[in-house]
Chains A and B, each alone.
Chain A
């Protein structure tokens, strides 16, 4: 049986939903099995595509460069970390000047604080400067994908079921988030 080429899809998730996510898991115990983050509307994310405004960046490394960047979409901010294991992305961030529209392809990462909070961030595979049209398209597309997930949330797909059970998702909150994100576009 020929194996299907199985690159992970780059999911579209807004910052607010990403920040609300705290369920990460693997499908099997195999150490090479990919790590996923399940979001409240049921996106099972191993890779994501983000377009937003780079508003702040800071080299917080001690020995080697380690960049922390803040990337803002209409619903909130993504935190991006790039160090020696993301050399190309780190170099790209180092050369950028905020504010700028940037596109990021990356992996979700979670960190549990001592008081039990889960913080999400993104480890970029690539970071590039883009234009306003790309940013606008991403917002509309991400709204559409999120809407599709909300519409499927009552279905019986394993991801939807898991999301419902874990988050008890308040759909109206995310619908309002989408309305706000899209309204910003119609006002431009």
Chain B
């Protein structure tokens, strides 16, 4: 963590042709973070400011080195440490996990969604789910391989009248299937509205006959993130090798609809998959899924090399 931050700071000053020894940056960060328990973001800021003073650089020059924060779309965020402007709608607000965070959740525009963190220290106005805003001077960062944006003291937020339509983008996720949830397997759907029936009852239309369908509501987990996945009939058939007709036969033979779910669970649970498809709310709507082979030898060697330094 400290090493990465130090590298970022070194590179940032490097762009201004100022060469600061990285161990000097590291030791300052380490002191703040480890000895004085300063949060990482604050330590970063403090060390940057120290060197700005040391080299007599106006803060404004440093923070606008690459010109004004550029106005971009969510899917154009591909590097961290960039200052950007976004026009986006608040898709979700999540439960807050830390006192240093004011709000956290997802914002999105027509090109997709991205996680945001609004620091409590930033003292910015509260965001409302479903409303659209102009976010000025927010910073991109990456955490465990995913991009996010942070809103801090120099950011501005303005509500706008326009209602932004949030677009979907295909995302990939790999991990182990750790759960298959109730309502998976052979299900019935309402013929009127296509909702899944619960014990033969549609939430909207009451008790109806319904038509059979296959689907899987799976939980994929990579040890860091829990990802919900919805698998439709076509992909379920391909993944499990059980067709809708076969599933109906199985259920009829056993006089039990649940037998299909049991078979699927037995086959899929505890194994690794790569899934791909658009993100919708907390789900990935799975369009393709493939079982993952053993970890590549190259990756194992790379890990070993990292350990043996």
Contact = CB atoms under 8 A, between A and B. Distances in A.
Contacts of A75: none
A154 B2 contact: yes
A11 B221 CA distance: 9
Interface string B104-130: 010000000000000000000000010
A134 B224 CA distance: 18
A179 B93 contact: no
B299 interface: yes
Interface in B264-309: 265-266, 269-272, 282, 292-295, 297, 299-301, 303-304, 306-308
Interface residues of B, number: 46
Contacts of A11: 223
Contact of A134 (B93, B265, B270): B270
A143 interface: yes
A102 B39 CA distance: 41
Interface residues of chain B: helix, strand, loop or mixed (majority): mixed
Given A105-B179, A134-B270, A147 B221 contact: no
B1 interface: yes
Contacts of A10: 176, 178, 221, 223, 226
B242 interface: no
A134 B291 CA distance: 10
Contact of B221 (A49, A128, A143, A155): A49
Interface string A1-38: 11111111111100000000000000000000000000
B294 A133 contact: yes
Interface in A124-161: 125-126, 128, 130-134, 136-138, 140-145, 147, 151-152, 154-156, 161
A179 B38 CA distance: 33
A128 B92 CA distance: 35
A103 interface: yes
B64 to A, nearest CB: 29
B303 A4 contact: no
A186 B304 contact: yes
B271 A134 contact: yes
Contacts of B94: 2-4
Nearest to B301: A186
A125 B269 CA distance: 12
B34 interface: yes
A128 B264 CA distance: 12
B155 to A, nearest CB: 21
B77 interface: no
Interface string B142-163: 0000000000000000000000
Contact of B92 (A4, A178, A183): A4
A175 interface: yes
Contact of A141 (B30, B295, B306): B295
Sorted nearest first, the 9 A-B pairs with minimum C-beta distance are A103-B270, A140-B295, A4-B94, A155-B1, A136-B294, A12-B223, A128-B270, A133-B294, A10-B221
11 contacts: A2-B93, A10-B178, A134-B176, A134-B270, A137-B293, A137-B294, A141-B223, A143-B303, A147-B307, A179-B307, A186-B301
Given A4-B95, A10-B221, A105-B269, 16 more contacts: A4-B94, A7-B219, A49-B221, A49-B223, A102-B270, A126-B269, A137-B293, A137-B295, A140-B295, A141-B295, A143-B300, A147-B306, A154-B34, A155-B40, A156-B38, A182-B307
